[in-house]
Amino acid sequence: MGDFNGNGSLDAADLDLQANAIGGTNFTFDLNGDRKIDVADRRVWVNDLKKTYMGDSNLDGVFNSSDLVGVFAAGKFESNTLALWTEGDWDGDKKFSSSDFVEAFQNGGYEAGPRAAVSSVPEPTSAVLFALGLLGLARRRR
């Protein structure tokens, strides 16, 4: 899911293909199942599938100053020219503008570090460990 170009990885090329599909009817790009292709589908790709943040232009798992340096080096901010994900088009309108910053900073990932992996097995709490210890002591006394 999300590997739109079929190259076996979730990369910026997939996001660029998705940007081209926004507003269309190719529901392969509809990742949230609402029968619309829009920025909400980009959020699913970025946040849930890639496990990173809007604004992470180099897709290294963190949104930080290196991403900002990279997009400004591309020279497309407010130029009204076509831009790719790596050039600052984070909202999928194929331009790098202030709306991309709004999208990225609303997401809350700037300088937050990598997203934590979700653990499928919860860590035991100290109460559980204490109870297990008491059970062990009770067995020894018998």
Mean of pLDDT over the chain: 88
| Residue with the larger pLDDT of the pair 132 and 111 | 111
Position 130 in a domain: no
Query: Which pTM does this prediction carry?
Result: 0.80
11: pLDDT strictly greater than 90: yes
Position 26 in a domain: yes
Q: Which two tokens stand for residue 50?
A: 């890639």
Q: Which two tokens stand for residue 120?
A: 């499928």
Q: What percent of the chain has pLDDT over 70?
A: 82
Position 141 in a domain: no
Q: Which two tokens stand for residue 114?
A: 């990598």
52, 109 in Cβ contact below 8 A? Answer: yes
Position 136 in a domain: no
Looking at the structure of the chain, the number of domains it has is 1
Q: How open is the CA angle 66-1-76, to the nearest 5 degrees?
A: 35
> Phi/psi class of residue 55: alpha, beta or left (left: φ > 0; alpha: ψ in -120 to 50)?
left
What is the span of the domain harbouring residue 29? 12-117
Position 31 in a domain: yes
Position 103 in a domain: yes
State residue 139's pLDDT score: 52
